[in-house]
Amino acid sequence: MANRKRVVILGGGFAGVYTAMALEKAIGRDDDIEIVLVSRENYLVFQPMLPEVISGSIGITDVVSPIRRLLHRTELHMREVQGIDLERKVVIASPGFRPQPHLIPYDHLVLALGNVTDFRGMRGLAEHAFPFKNLVDALNLRNHAIRAIRESAIEPDPEFRRELLTFVVAGGGFSGVEAIAELNDFVRRVARWFPTIDEKEIRVVLLHAGDRILPEMAPHLALFAQKILAQRGVEIRFNTKLEAATSDAAILAGGERIATRTLVSTVPAFPHPLVDALPVAKGRGGRIKATAEMQVEGSSNVWALGDCALVPMINGELAPPTAQHAIRQANVAAHNIVATVRGGQRRTFTFTGLGKMGSLGHRSAVAEMFGIKISGLLAWFMWRTIYLAKMPGWGRRVKVASAWALDLILPPDIVELKFGESRGVSQAHFEPGEEVFHEGDVADQIYVVLKGQAEMVQRRNGADELVAILGPGDWFGETALMNETTRYVTVRCRQALDVLSLPKRDFQALSSNLPDLRKTFDAIKDRRGLQKAGVSAGGGAPAV
């Protein structure tokens, strides 16, 4: 269809997936609108239940739903969005199997990228604190907690043992409170499986900057939550700020150290770097200013919603970053995109919120719904019923309900999953005739030849011209990496070739932190600048 419009949605969270779902519904059987969703995962994470992944009261994959099952007419591109060119109306996404940039042109763009955990400005947190935002964070924390307990069970040094059995969470908002409630229950239940550990040895500490936790809730509900947590052995430190972290301590403002090997931080999230770089109007917290119709201020074909946007509500306030608001915004955005393409009446965002609920684990919760404030077992039952009903797909609901039922009678699962470490330096082998990379490919690695021989060629006047022959000890691939460009040349294996490869991120970290290495590469880069014109140097010195 000649006039077919393409709507490209960035982000596979509540805002993005629900926009696609609402668009599919609104479009009906017509094919005048095509939907593309770009997300780095192929699943939607049901974040309200993420804390339960720590304790394992629901299965690891029960908290996620495959996007393909939720969307039937949407094309899913499982890629990392790397750039957005608003002028050319193109999204630049990461390469797939072939190292070539993935360009996605659009007519309408929906920004639903959420926000990111960012420990900027907090010493040592990026290195030593666990974030708590997505499925991988929850799994990492769960595995780490099991490891700390298992290690403490065989640790003879009492001081180190105490450190291993101390668990600290910073942040007394919803996610911090829900995370500590689940973590506390979990570590105490797991420890029962280790006869050498006395439960009294376990210390679980919640650090909170204010004078009461859950500041979003009515004071008596926050006090109820505090009492429940304290009864279960959680030590709450009020008016206490986490300032820094090391591998073995949480360091508080004022200098106090809490010796621990498990520090979780639910510090406020930051705007997404892609959003940060966009030339659009932004407001509080760097979020994109959207209208009540979900359109980005000053634009006719860019829409923004969810945690990355500031959307005005009819009560004059800005919508809070919650899933319930993102879902309602998605419906409005989808309706308005269709109305813009086909012509029709637009809608504005009128939702103000259904209420707030926080689970305290162990059959207790606090809730404020429709003006009613409740706590304890009834709130917990309401929490579970409402979130179960909101989970996308019947299959998931049945699984979660059965997991909850079984959790009441079965002991905790203490399987410790070992994930592969991040790859860092790796080795690769090429057979004669194979290309290591091709001119124009995305530059993502630097290489060192260990064994064999390769030729470096450049396409000039329609033919391949030899630039250099590479042998053991030669390196290649650094110039395009340093210049942030695509490959200038093609490197092809001549004799069976073994190379070491170092990913771009690691190479950049090394070259920017080792001044001598940086100087060496800069000198090589200058020298190689000449060779770009075609002077062959051999010996690992060509420009690539």
Ligand X SMILES: Cc1cc2nc3c(=O)[nH]c(=O)nc-3n(C[C@H](O)[C@H](O)[C@H](O)COP(=O)(O)OP(=O)(O)OC[C@H]3O[C@@H](n4cnc5c(N)ncnc54)[C@H](O)[C@@H]3O)c2cc1C
Quick note: the x/- pattern for ligand X over 159-198, rule CB under 6 A, is ---------------xx-----------------------
DSSP structural state of residue 41? S
Instruction: Report the SS3 class of residue 409.
Output: coil
Q: Which residue, 38 or 109, is less far from ligand X as judged by CB?
A: 38
Q: Which pairing describes strands 43-45 and 234-237: parallel, antiparallel, or unpaired?
A: unpaired
Q: Up-side HSE of residue 390: CA atoms within 13 Å toward CB?
A: 19
39 near ligand X, rule: CB under 6 A: yes
How many angstroms separate the CA atoms of 409 and 398, rounded? 18
User: For residues 476-515, which are near ligand X according to CB under 6 A?
Assistant: none
Tokens of 193: 């499986």
Q: Least distance in Å: CB of 67 to ligand X?
A: 9
Q: Least distance in Å: CB of 477 to ligand X?
A: 24
Helix pair 219-231, 174-191: axis angle to 10 deg: 20
Total residues in contact with ligand X, by rule CB under 6 A: 32
Q: Within 10 A of 181 (CB to CB), how many other CB atoms are there? A: 28
113 near ligand X, rule: CB under 6 A: yes
47 near ligand X, rule: CB under 6 A: yes
Q: Least distance in Å: CB of 275 to ligand X?
A: 9
Q: Which residue is nearest to ligand X (CB)?
A: 13
Sheet holding 33-39, edge to edge: 74-78, 33-39, 5-10, 108-111, 302-304
Of the candidate residues 9, 14, 278, 502, the single one contacting ligand X (CB under 6 A)? 14
Q: Which pairing describes strands 64-66 and 43-45: parallel, antiparallel, or unpaired?
A: antiparallel
324 near ligand X, rule: CB under 6 A: yes
Residues in the chain: 544
Stretch that binds ligand X, among 33-41, 119-127, 236-244, 362-370 (CB under 6 A): 33-41
Tokens of 322: 């919650």
Helix pair 515-531, 504-513: axis angle to 10 deg: 110
Stretch that binds ligand X, among 110-118, 121-129, 234-242, 335-343 (CB under 6 A): 110-118
114 near ligand X, rule: CB under 6 A: yes
Residue 389: its H or E element: helix 377-390
Stretch that binds ligand X, among 108-116, 362-370, 487-495, 505-513 (CB under 6 A): 108-116
Q: Least distance in Å: CB of 56 to ligand X?
A: 16
80 near ligand X, rule: CB under 6 A: yes
Stretch that binds ligand X, among 39-47, 218-226, 367-375, 503-511 (CB under 6 A): 39-47
- CA nearest 185: which of 204, 198, 172, 161? 204
40 near ligand X, rule: CB under 6 A: yes
How many angstroms separate the CA atoms of 269 and 285, rounded? 9
Q: Least distance in Å: CB of 446 to ligand X?
A: 23
13 near ligand X, rule: CB under 6 A: yes
Residues that bind ligand X (CB under 6 A): 11-16, 38-41, 47-48, 50, 80-81, 112-114, 132-133, 174-175, 272, 274, 306-308, 321-324, 326
